[in-house]
Structure 1
Amino acid sequence: MQQGVLRAPVQGVPQARDFALIDAPRPQCPEGGVVVRLSHVSMDPYVGARLRGRHMGEAAPEPMTQAIPGHGVGVVIESRCAIAEGAYVHLMEAGWRELAPALDAEVRVIEPGGLSPSVFLSSLGMPGLTAWAGMTQLARVRKGDCVLVDAAAGAVGGAAGQIARAQGAARVIGIAGGPQKAALVRDTYGFDACIDYRTDGWKDELAGALSGGLDVHFENVSSEILTLALTHMNPYGRAVLCGLAAHYHDDQSAPGVPFGLIIGKRASLHGLVVYDFYDRWDAFLAKCRPLVETGALVIAEDAADGLAAAPEAFERLMTGRNLGKALVKL
């Protein structure tokens, strides 16, 4: 069995050369658990920080030994619990490997039906849950709201905008980098507009798109964009602080938030940690699976083939070159 590992401790932004594939023994099935043959492994931005031991206090994987962390989906091939062999499951800690052991408490049985199992790593997986939690449980988007989402071409951002629309938002505006990503946000995800921050005058274009004011902002990128969004916010607007991707690999803390602006806008800021909402996964699926099945919630996939492609796929994600949800198909 092959698995992906670190060659050595990571310094700075992870690159493909930081990873290696090694042969590992076939995992034994734990008592009260399963062994899963993975079909898809997720590439997620938070893993970049986790590889440096800077995510929620979780230790970095041991080089040349432990699999790179990541969610995954696959089929149970051996079971010592109530989960039947042949069942499709989602694993929180699948890792970059072909076979993954897990206890039954670490596994969610999924029913793909007519859907690809990979959708349970995107719109019906952790990215979708994150977006649903932010838009429905924290910001509580309501009919008529104007919503702004940055990193809108990503799996979380794209889902957030579409869920906001399903909640009744009147306008959904995205921010993304490059014409391909902006087109994806507008044409596939159905946002009313997407501002390309790599173009000259993009801040003026954003101001025009938000001429009626902003009610909800979903922040994925930086304190600078959060500050810009706050300048356009209507009184008593809401912001969800989901991530600061631009600062994940900085050695210093992100620049501070302007408290005077927050007070002046009477704004509410909600920090979002998706782990807090794992116990609401069923409620999330009840809301979002029908949206996926009707095409109201769509996430493009940037899929690489084979575990050997994982290092390059992860580097593409870390440098913002992916187009849609980054994953590896095994």
Structure 2
Amino acid sequence: MKQVVLKHALTARPSAEDFVLLDVPAPACPEGGVLVRVVHLSLDPYVGSRLRGKHMGEPAPQPGLDPIPGAAVCQVVESRAEWVKPGDWVHAMEVGWREVADLPPGSFRKIDPDVAPLSAHAGVLGMPGLTAWAGMTQLAKVGQGDVVLVDAAAGPVGGTVGQIARIKGASRVIGIAGGPEKCALVTNDYGFDACIDYQQEGWEAALSAVLPQAPTVYFENVSTTMASKALVRLAPYGRMILCGLVDQYHADQPPPGLNAGLIVGKRAHVMGLVVYDFYPRWDDYVAEASAWLADGRLRYREDRVEGLAAAPALFGRLMAGANVGKAVVSVAPEQI
């Protein structure tokens, strides 16, 4: 089988040239687990940090040996678990960039292939969607009349954040994204009331203009710099969710922190979001979100490529912020 590994240890933001595709022996089915063929592989920004050993204490993969970390939608080929049979579909976080994977017990969830397109379980029903749902419903507890501001609004997390906020009763949802194509996605596909392009001159004044009411909820997934700009605009007693800080994933030193005086002055509730805490609620989220997908209230966009060999180039685009939609690699066909 084939798998993708690092050519060498990383000291900076990864690019497509840092990876190599190898032929390796296929693994065996583990005791109590399953052997699967990898079908839809999720590429996620946090992996860039993990490749340097800088994510949540998780070790970096060994160059030339370990597959690049990645979640995936997979079909069971062989099972040594009583509750799963060959042909079933599963989702797992620790699959890796490879064609065949051995998943030990407790590392995978069985999924229903009929509730949504299978690739959706890599994105809007996968970890990005769960992250958005946790932030809006479990932490911020968005409800009627909330005004929600979302950074990185064109991303798979941010786009879902805004849509869930609207479903839960927010009166106004505003996004921040980079470039006209991404802003068009945010307003036309995801249904935000407005999207401000931070790459345009005068964007901060434009942001203030589309916020006649101060936001009561802010979701940050990029930087403390952007969070500080949002905090200035936040309503008193507003809720700020700090999820990801992409600008720190490849920095050797963290930038200056948030203005603590502003947090006090705004009486802000600042909450850190680690999606791992909500894995036990994953099935609850899928049950709710699959209904939203079915009736059209929740939408998503994919930036999808075919074949494992295409993963490094797509990951390079993701690291550069050039992708539009959820980065997914279709490693193998769904039907065999």
Q: TM-score range by the shorter chain?
A: over 0.9
In structure 2, what is the Cα distance between the partners aligned to 1:294 and 1:10?
Answer: 44
> Residue 96 of structure 2 aligns with which residue?
95
For structure 1, list consecutive stretches of 5 or more residues without a partner in the other structure. none
Deviation at 1:8, TM superposition (A): 0.3
Deviation at 1:242, TM superposition (A): 0.3
> Residue 299 of structure 1 aligns with which residue?
300
Deviation at 1:104, TM superposition (A): 3.0
For structure 2, list consecutive stretches of 5 or more residues without a partner in the other structure. 332-336
Secondary structure of the 1:105 match is coil
Per-residue CA deviations over 1:284-326 (Å, capped at 9, x if unaligned) read 1222111111121111000011111000000000000000000
> Residue 58 of structure 1 aligns with which residue?
58
In structure 2, what is the Cα distance between the partners aligned to 1:329 and 1:97?
Answer: 11
* TM-score with structure 2 setting the length: 0.97
In structure 1, what is the Cα distance between the partners aligned to 2:248 and 2:75?
Answer: 36
**Percent of aligned pairs with the same amino acid:** 56
> Residue 314 of structure 2 aligns with which residue?
313
Q: Which amino acid aligns with 2:239?
A: R
Secondary structure of the 1:323 match is coil
Q: Which amino acid aligns with 2:243?
A: C
Deviation at 1:52, TM superposition (A): 0.1
Per-residue CA deviations over 1:44-68 (Å, capped at 9, x if unaligned) read 0000000000000011000011000
> Residue 76 of structure 1 aligns with which residue?
76
Secondary structure of the 1:235 match is coil
In structure 1, what is the Cα distance between the partners aligned to 2:285 and 2:190?
Answer: 19
* TM-score with structure 1 setting the length: 0.99
In structure 2, what is the Cα distance between the partners aligned to 1:149 and 1:121?
Answer: 22
> Residue 152 of structure 2 aligns with which residue?
151
Match runs of 1:142-181 below 5 Å: 142-181=143-182
Secondary structure of the 2:184 match is helix
In structure 2, what is the Cα distance between the partners aligned to 1:25 and 1:116?
Answer: 31
Secondary structure of the 1:140 match is coil
Match runs of 1:1-330 below 5 Å: 1-82=1-82, 83-113=84-114, 115-330=116-331
Per-residue CA deviations over 1:203-252 (Å, capped at 9, x if unaligned) read 00000111211100000011111111111111100000001111211111
**Does the Cα contact within 8 Å between 1:123 and 1:292 map onto a contact in 2?**
no
Q: Which amino acid aligns with 1:285?
A: V
Deviation at 1:181, TM superposition (A): 0.3
User: What is the aligned-residue RMSD (CA, Å)?
Assistant: 0.8
Deviation at 1:114, TM superposition (A): 5.5
In structure 2, what is the Cα distance between the partners aligned to 1:298 and 1:122?
Answer: 11
Q: Which amino acid aligns with 1:254?
A: P
In structure 2, what is the Cα distance between the partners aligned to 1:115 and 1:256?
Answer: 40
**Does the Cα contact within 8 Å between 2:116 and 2:290 map onto a contact in 1?**
no
Q: Which amino acid aligns with 1:220?
A: N
In structure 1, what is the Cα distance between the partners aligned to 2:115 and 2:292?
Answer: 14
In structure 1, what is the Cα distance between the partners aligned to 2:14 and 2:238?
Answer: 36
**Does the Cα contact within 8 Å between 1:128 and 1:155 map onto a contact in 2?**
yes
Secondary structure of the 1:101 match is strand
